[in-house]
Amino acid sequence: MTPESTSDVISSERVEGTNVYNKAGEKLGSIDDIMIDKRSGQVRYAVLEFGGFLGMGTDRYPLPWNMLTYDTSMDGYVVPLDKAKLEGAPRYAETQAPEYTPDYSRSVNDYYGVTW
Amino acid sequence: MTPESTSDVISSERVEGTNVYNKAGEKLGSIDDIMIDKRSGQVRYAVLEFGGFLGMGTDRYPLPWNMLTYDTSMDGYVVPLDKAKLEGAPRYAETQAPEYTPDYSRSVNDYYGVTW
């Protein structure tokens, strides 16, 4: 799950900015940020930046980390999401990030049907 | 283990730039990057930026993530390290980051006496 090869780890700076595609090969956006569980140190969400024009008005979509698979041929992550699914997904403006409370996290996980 | 309060998660962008202190309250540097296990999504290392002058010539020190404790009164992370220990620690120049192979990771972990 990474753009690198011989390392066992991937840098957060390297993940940020990586493109995200759906299984049809359509670009959905790029990773803007990574949300890490405070207690366990487990990455919970990759935050997808999507929409807007020339960087203005883009929205942020938290995607459960384990939905992402790195595809070396695409040089990006692939997620099993079509654009319609994404358009109805939990999102927020860059400047209005919510607190990731247990309720908020649950709403995101429920939308994508993931558990951990 | 985070600068935030009501969220269960912390943003990688928020961690990056956070100051790191030793238990005596001396500033050791700041977090430059985060290294994430590719397979498990577990954060393994916070990369400390330390040394140099006006941003030039700084070194990078991978610190095992579970050595860091967030201290709200310091608004930064505290690690159980003195400067002498850090001066002998595994490091690299910003532009010469190594591959984090199993051997490299083991050398870092061994230096700090941590296992996972």
Q: Is the dihedral of CA A61, A64, A65, A68 positive or negative?
A: negative
Decide the pairing of beta strands A27-37 and A59-64. unpaired
Q: Which of A88, A42, A93, A45 is nearest to A67 (CA)?
A: A45
**CA distance linking residue B76 with residue B1, whole number of Å:** 9
CB contact under 8 A, A13 and B16: yes
Q: Is the pLDDT of residue B63 over 50?
A: yes
- Residue A2 structure tokens: 């990474």
Decide the pairing of beta strands B19-22 and B76-79. parallel
Question: Residues of B with CB below 8 A from A16's CB?
Answer: 12-13
Mean residue pLDDT of chain B comes to 89
Decide the pairing of beta strands B43-50 and B59-64. antiparallel
Residue type at A9 in one-letter notation: V
CA distance A16 to chain B (A): 9
Q: Is the dihedral of CA A105, A109, A115, A116 positive or negative?
A: negative
Q: Is the pLDDT of residue A2 over 60?
A: no
Q: Is the pLDDT of residue B6 over 80?
A: no
Q: Is the pLDDT of residue A86 over 50?
A: yes
| Higher-pLDDT residue of B61, A87 | B61
Mean pLDDT of B31-59: 86
When CB atoms are compared, the residue of B8, B11, B102 closest to A101 is: B8
When CB atoms are compared, the residue of B9, B16, B65 closest to A44 is: B9
Task: Report the complex ipTM.
Answer: 0.83
**CA distance linking residue A41 with residue A37, whole number of Å:** 5
CA geometry: angle B76, B81, B82, nearest 5 deg = 110
pLDDT single digits (tens) A32-63: 999 999 888 999 999 999 876 665 678 999 99
Q: Is the dihedral of CA A111, A114, B1, B6 positive or negative?
A: positive
**CA distance linking residue A6 with residue A18, whole number of Å:** 18
Q: How much of chain B exceeds pLDDT 70, in percent?
A: 91
| Higher-pLDDT residue of A109, A115 | A109
Decide the pairing of beta strands A76-79 and A43-50. unpaired
In contact, A31 and A12? CB cutoff 8 Å = no
> For position A39, what pLDDT does the model report?
84
pTM of the model: 0.86
Q: How much of chain A exceeds pLDDT 90, in percent?
A: 68
Mean residue pLDDT of chain A comes to 89
> For position A68, what pLDDT does the model report?
95
> For position B66, what pLDDT does the model report?
92
CB contact under 8 A, A36 and B12: yes
Mean pLDDT of B62-84: 92
> For position B4, what pLDDT does the model report?
47
Using left for φ > 0, alpha for ψ between -120 and 50, and beta otherwise, residue A15 falls in alpha
Question: Residues of B with CB below 8 A from A72's CB?
Answer: none
B69-82 burial: b if 16+ Cβ within 10 Å, else e: ebeeeeebbbbebe
> For position B56, what pLDDT does the model report?
66
